[in-house]
A and B are shown apart, each in its own frame.
Chain A
Amino acid sequence: MVAYIIRRLIGSVILLFVVTAVTFAIFFLLPRLAGATADDIASRYAGKSASPEQIHAIAVRLGFDQPLYEQYWQFAKGIVVGRDVQLGNTVDHCPAPCLGYSYIDQRPVLPTVLDRLPVTVSLAFGAGIIWLLSGVATGVLSALKRGSIFDRLAMGTALGGVSLPIFFTGQLCLLIFSYTLGWTAHGGEYTPITENPGRWAYDLILPWITLAFLYAAAYARLTRAGMLETMSEDFIRTARAKGLPERTVVTRHGLRAALTPIATIFGLDIGLLLGGAVLTESTFSLNGLGKLSIDSVTSQDLPKVLGVVLFVAGFVVIANLVVDILYTVIDPRVRL
C-alpha cells in the first residue's frame, strides 16, 4: 500500500511536469512558431502607447528573448526555490513555490490562486454532497421501482438535467429565486464559512443546487443502471434466500457493489470541479478558480493561466489517487 502510494506520487510529479511543459509550449512556443517575435509577446505587458524601445526593454527584462528551454528552466526553478522578478526599476520577490508571476497584476500567482481556492472548494464539495446523495438515492429508488411513474419522472428530469446548460439553468434560477422571490442571494455574493457559516450556505445554496442538478442527473442514471445489473446477480438471490431483510439486501449487498464506478467518477468530477466550475462561477459571479482562469485568458495574463493550470492539474492527480485508495475500502476484492 505504502509502496503503491509512493509509486503513484512519483508518477504524479512526472505527469505534472508534462502538463506544465505542454502548457508552457502552448503559450510560449506556438506563438513563436506562428511568427511572433519576443517583442510581440512583450507588447501585451507594455502600456497603451509604448515605444518599440520600451517594448524591447520589457522583452529582454522578462526573458522572452532567451531560448525557450531557458525560460522553462527559470519557471521550473522558481517552483522549487522561488525567484526575483525584475519590474523595470524595481524588483519583486516571488517566494517558492513560485507558480509564476503575473506581470499584469504585478503579483505572484500563487497567493491569488490560494485566495480563490476556498470559493471553489466550497462550491465543489457542497454541490458534490448534494448531487451524490440525491443522485444515488434517485437512482436506487428508480431501479427498485423500475417502470413506475416515479422511475419515469425521475429519469425524464435527469435527462433534462443533463441536457440543460448551466448558464441557462443558473440564470433562470437567479431570475426566479433571487430577483423575483428574493429567497436566495443574488450573484457575486460569497461569505467565508469561517466568518458566518449560515451566510456561507445561504450565499451558495443556489449555485450548489444548479451545479448539483447537472451532475445528479448523470449520477441517477448511472446508479440506476448499476443497481439494475447488480440486483439481478446471483449473490443477491442468495442473500434473499438466506432470509435477509430486503433493506439489508439493497444497501449492504446491492448498493455497495454498484457504488464502485460511482466513486471513480465522483473522484474525477470533484477533482475537475476543484479546478473551477467555469460556467457556474461565471454565471453566479463567484470569484473561484474557474473564473480566475477565464479572466486570465481574456486579459492574456499567460503566467496566471499557467499557474492555474498547474494547480488544477495537481488537484485532478490527487483526486485520482484518493479514489484509487478508497477502492480498497468500498470493494475489498481490490488489492493495491
Chain B
Amino acid sequence: MRRKRLATVIALGAVAALTLGACGDNAPPAGGSNGPAANNAGVGKIANPSSEKGGTLRYVNQDDWDSLDPADTYYAYSWNFIRYYARQLVMFKSAPGGEGATLVPDLATDLGTASPDNKTWTYHIRKGVKYEDGTEVKAQDVKYDVERSLDKDTYPNGPTYFNDFLDLQGYTSPYKDSDPNKLGLKAIETPDDYTIIFHLKKPFAAFDYFAAIPSTAPVPPSKDTQTKYKDHVLSSGPYMFDQMNPGKSFTMKRNPHYDPATAPTRPPALPDRIEVQLKVTNSNDIDQRLMSGSADVDIAGSGVQPAAQAQILRDPALRAQTDSAITTRLWYSVINADVKPLDNIHCRKAIEWAVDKTNLQRAYGGSVGGDIATNMLPPVIPGAQQFDLYPTPDHKGDLNKAKEELKLCGHPDGGFSFNISYRAGRDKEEATAKSIAESLSKIGIKTELHNYPTGDYLKLYAGKPSFTKANNIGIMVYGWAADWPDGFGFMAQIVDSRTIHQSGGNSNLGIKDPKIDQLIDSTLNEKDAAKRNSIWVEVDKQTMSDAYTIPGVWAKGLLYRPKNVTNVFVTDGFSEYDYLALGTTNK
C-alpha cells in the first residue's frame, strides 16, 4: 500500500528522491502488516472502469452538509461533491492517486497568471458556460460569490482565506454594499464579462488553491436569496437540484444547459440522477446497505465502522471490494510550553522519547486505522517527507533517552505533573491520552486525564491559552486534516504562532516559534511549487525539533466500493473517492 502510494508520488516527479531516502531509513511498518489487507483496486488506478451513462447514483450521509451554498461550506466531502453543481475557477483534477492532487482549470480557461510580486492574479472565464436557466456565467457572478463568502455573519461556515488575503479596504458584505450592482469590492476587478482579477494585500504564490475554494463558483446577484440560497443553488455544473427536503434528502438531475464542450478538464457525467439521503444516523446500517447494494457511496468518505471492518476483512469476496488509502488527516497531540516545566525544550523532548507509538496506533485500530506518524505532514501531501527525529526501536519508545533529556531539563527523576486533555466521547482520543499517560508514568511524570465537550474543545478549552495554562494542561490530544493537499493547506492553521488568539478557538494549540513563522512567510512568495514544498518540510522539521507535537497516526479509512458503482478511484485531492467520476449500473 505504501509502495503504491510512493509509486504515484514518483510518477508525479515531485521530490521523489527525498521521499524514498526518508522511507528507507525510518519508514513505519507497512500498512496492513497484521492480517489481510484491502484489495486497493481503486487506489492509484481506476476500479471497474466504464463509460456507460445513465442510472441513479445513491449517496448516504450519516450527518448533513454544513451548507450546500458554495459561499458557506468547509467539509471535505462537500468540496468534492460541489463540483456536480458548481464550477469553481480551478478544481482538483479528476484522476486517481497523486494526480488527483494537482490543479486544473474548470470555469477558468487556464490556471491563474500572477504579477511578479504574486499580489495580483488574473483568470479568464470560459465562454458559453450556462446555468440551469440557460443564462451565461459571467465573471461578475464569480466576484459576487466571493463577496458573499466574505460576509461571515451571514455565511459563517466557509474558510476565511479570502478575508485574510484580499485587499478588502474595509469591504465586509455585498448586503452592505452601496454599489447598485452589489459589486463594490475593489479587491476584485472584472474588466469584462470573461476576466476576473484578484488583488491581494500580501503575496500568495499558491493562489490557485484559493481559486479552487467553492466560493469562486458563480452566483448571479439577481438569483441570490441569501440564507435560503442553500435550498436551491443555481447550478453551473452537470447536475441541478431537483427535489429538496432540508435535513432529510435531496435529488439531482441533469442540467439541460450543461455543455461538456465547455468542460474539457472534467470527466463525462455518467449517472442520470443523483440521490442523497441525509442524517442516516445508524452508521452500521450505512455499511450494511453498501454491502447489500441498496446504497452506493457513504459520502463522508472516512471508511466503514469497526463492525463492518471485521466482517469485510474476514470475507475475501467483500475484501475484493475495498480500498484503503492514507488520508491527509493526522491524529496528534500538542505539548503545551505554557505549562511549566514544559517550557524547557528538554522536558518536551523527554516526552517525545518516552511515548510508545505502537500504543497510539492501537488506539486508532491498528494498521487498518492508520500508519504510525513520525512527523507532521501526511505522506500523501505532494512533497511531504517522512523523517523521525526521535527514532526508537519498533516505535516503542526509549526510556533511557527520555531520562537523559529529563536530566538536561533539571528533573532527573521526573517528579512533575500536569493534565492531559481530550475530546469527550472520542474513545480513540481517550485511548491516546491513556497510553501517553502510561508511557510518561514510566519516567516519573504524573498525569491526570480530563475530557472536555467536543463542540467547544477549541473555543473554550484546549484552544484557549488562558484556560490550558490555568488548568495545567500540558498535553492536548487533537487531530487535523488538510484543507487541501499542500503544505499551506495542512500546516498554516496549526503551526503559525500568529493564528493564536487569546480569546480561544485556535486550531494552533500552542506552537510558538518565530523561525516557523518566518519559514511560512517565505513560502508565500515562492513561485516554484517544489521549492515551496521543501520549505514546508523544513517547517515540519522545525516543529518536530522544537518537540511541540507528538504525531500519532496518519489516518487511513477502509472504503467499501459496491459492485454496481463504476469508475471508482481514491483521489489525493480529497482523500476520498472522486465523486465527479463515479458511474453506476443501477438503473
Q: Contact residues of A with B, CB < 8 Å?
A: 36, 39-40, 43-52, 54-55, 57-58, 61, 87-90, 92, 105-107, 112, 115, 171, 174-175, 178-179, 182, 186-188, 282-285, 287, 291, 294-295, 299-300
8 A Cβ contacts from B197-232 to A: 226-227
Residues of B within 8 A of A88 (CB): 151-154, 173, 175
Nearest CB of chain A from residue B350's CB, rounded to whole Å: 33
Chain B nearest Cβ from A25, distance in angstroms = 19
User: Which residues from chain B sit less than 8 Å from chain A, CB to CB?
Assistant: 60, 74, 151-154, 156-160, 172-173, 175-176, 226-227, 245-248, 277, 279-282, 284-285, 288-289, 291-292, 294, 455-456, 459-460, 493, 499, 501, 503-505, 507
Contact status B455-A300, CB under 8 Å: yes
Residue from B285, B493, B503 within 8 A of A55 (CB atoms):
B503
21 intermolecular pairs with C-beta atoms under 8 Å apart: A40-B459, A43-B504, A49-B493, A50-B505, A51-B503, A54-B152, A54-B153, A55-B503, A55-B505, A87-B227, A88-B175, A89-B154, A106-B227, A107-B246, A115-B246, A174-B288, A186-B292, A284-B282, A285-B282, A287-B279, A295-B279
- B156, A47: Cβ atoms under 8 Å? yes
CA distance A60 to B323 in the complex (A): 49
Q: How far is the CB of A276 from chain B (nearest CB, A)?
A: 13
- B460 contacts A40, CB within 8 Å? yes
* Least CB separation from A85: chain B residue: B227
B74: chain A residues within 8 A (beta carbon): 48
Whether the Cβ atoms of B505 and A87 lie closer than 8 Å is: no
Contact status of A52 and B455, CB under 8 A, knowing A174-B285, A284-B282, A285-B285: no
Contact between chains at B153 and A188 (CB < 8 Å): no
Contact of A48 among B159, B172, B456 (CB under 8 A): B159
**Docked complex Cα distance between A98 and B239 (Å):** 35
A105 touches B153 (CB 8 A): no
Q: What is the CA–CA distance of A58 and B154 in the complex, to the nearest angstrom?
A: 10
Selected from B156, B173, B176, B499, the residue in CB contact (under 8 A) with A46 is B156
Contact A283 B157 (CB under 8 A): no
A158 to chain B, nearest CB (A): 27
In Å, the complex CA distance between A61 and B248 comes to: 29
CA distance A39 to B505 in the complex (A): 12
A186 touches B294 (CB 8 A): yes
Residue with the greatest number of chain B CB neighbours at <10 A, chosen from A54, A90, A300 = A90
Contact call B156/A49, Cβ cutoff below 8 A: no
Q: Is the CB of A43 within 8 A of B175?
A: no
Contacting pair A282 B284 (CB below 8 A): no
CA distance A115 to B507 in the complex (A): 37
Q: Which residue of B lies closest to A56 (CB)?
A: B503
- A46 (CB) vs chain B CBs: closest residue: B156
> Whole-angstrom distance from the CB of A169 to the nearest CB of chain B?
14
Q: Judging by beta carbons under 8 Å apart, are B279 and A291 in contact?
A: yes
Rounded to whole angstroms, the CA-CA distance of A174 and B503 in the bound complex is 48
> Contact between B227 and A52 (Cβ–Cβ < 8 Å)?
no
Q: Contacts A90-B227, A107-B246 hold; do A188 and B280 have CB atoms under 8 A apart?
A: yes
Asked if residues A186 and B289 are in contact (CB atoms below 8 Å), the reply is yes
Q: A106-B227, A186-B294 are in contact. Are A58 and B153 (CB under 8 A)?
A: yes
Contact, CB under 8 Å: B158 / A47 = yes
Look across to chain A and name the residue whose beta carbon is closest to the beta carbon of B231. Answer: A107
How far apart are B76's CB and chain A's nearest CB, in angstroms?
13
Q: Which of A39, A112, A188, A294 neighbours the largest number of chain B CB atoms within 10 Å of its CB?
A: A188
Which residue of B has the minimal Cβ distance to A175? B288
List the 3 closest pairs (A to B, CB-CB), nearest first: A88-B153, A47-B156, A89-B175
A284 to B157, CA, bound (A): 30
Write the nearest CB–CB distance from A62 to chain B, whole angstroms.
11
Measured CB to CB, the closest approach of chain A to B300, in angstroms, equals 14
Q: How far is B154's CA from A61's CA once the two chains are assembled, in angstroms? A: 12
Compute how far the CA of A115 lies from the CA of B249 in the bound complex, rounded to whole angstroms. Answer: 12
Contacts of B159 in A (CB 8 A): 48-49
* Contact of B175 with A90 in the complex, beta carbons under 8 Å: yes
Contact A287/B248 with A52-B501, A88-B173 known, Cβ cut-off 8 Å: yes
Please tell me which one of the listed residues B152, B288, B294 contacts residue A47 in the complex, with CB atoms under 8 A apart. Answer: B152
B151 touches A179 (CB 8 A): no
Of the candidates A44, A89, A107, the one whose C-beta lies within 8 Å of that of B173 is A89
* Smallest Cβ-Cβ distance to A283: which chain B residue: B282
Chain B proximity of A323: nearest CB distance (Å): 32
Cross-chain contact A50 with B152 (CB below 8 angstroms): yes
Give the complex CA separation of A291 and B63 in angstroms.
Answer: 12
Chain B residues whose CB sits within 8 angstroms of the CB of A89 once the complex forms: 151, 153-154, 172-173, 175-176
Contacts of B288 in A (CB 8 A): 174-175, 178-179, 186
Q: Which residue of A lies closest to B507 (CB)?
A: A49
Chain B residues with CB under 8 A of A182: 292
Contact B455 A44, beta carbon cutoff 8 Å: yes
A50: chain B residues within 8 A (beta carbon): 152, 156, 505
Are A47 and B154 neighbours in the complex by a CB distance under 8 Å? no
Contact partners of B158 in chain A: CB under 8 A: 47
Which of A55, A106, A285 is in CB contact (< 8 Å) with B280? Answer: A285
B285 partner, pick from A61, A187, A291, beta carbons under 8 A: A187
Closest to A300 in B: B455
Tell me the bound Cα distance from A115 to B246 in angstroms: 9
B289: chain A residues within 8 A (beta carbon): 186-188
Chain B, residue nearest A45 (CB): B156
In the bound complex, what is the Cα–Cα distance between A175 and B493 (angstroms)?
Answer: 43
Residues of A with C-beta under 8 A to B285 = 174, 186-188, 283-285
Instruction: List B contacts of A291 (CB < 8 A).
Output: 279, 281
Chain A residues, Cβ within 8 Å of B460: 36, 40, 43
Bound Cα distance from A87 to B131, whole angstroms: 28
Residue of A with least CB distance to B294: A186
Tell me, in angstroms, the Cα distance from A48 to B455 when the chains sit together.
11
Instruction: Tell me the smallest distance from the CB of A42 to a CB of chain B, in Å.
Output: 10
CB distance from B299 to the nearest CB of A (A): 13
| A282 and B288 alpha carbons, distance in the complex (Å) | 15
Instruction: Establish whether residues A112 and B247, one from each chain, have CB atoms under 8 Å apart when the complex forms.
Output: yes
15 new A-B contacts at CB < 8 Å, known A43-B460, A90-B226, A287-B247: A43-B504, A46-B156, A47-B157, A50-B505, A87-B154, A88-B151, A115-B246, A171-B284, A179-B291, A186-B285, A187-B282, A188-B282, A283-B282, A285-B280, A285-B282
- Docked complex Cα distance between A49 and B226 (Å): 21
A40: shortest Cβ distance to chain B, in Å?
Answer: 6
CB-based contact A49/B160 at 8 Å? yes
CB-CB under 8 A from A282, the residues of chain B are 281-282
**Is A44 within 8 A of B456, CB to CB?**
yes
Instruction: List B contacts of A48 (CB < 8 A).
Output: 74, 157, 159-160, 507
Q: Please give me the residue from chain A that is nearest to B459 by CB atom.
A: A43
Kindly state the separation between the CA atoms of A89 and B291 in the bound complex, as whole angstroms: 47
- Chain A's closest residue to B225 (CB) is A90
Report the minimum CB–CB distance from B149 to chain A (whole Å): 11
Q: A285 to B154, Cβ gap below 8 A? A: no
Chain A residues lying within 8 Å of B294, measured Cβ to Cβ, are: 186
Q: Which residue of A lies closest to B506 (CB)?
A: A49
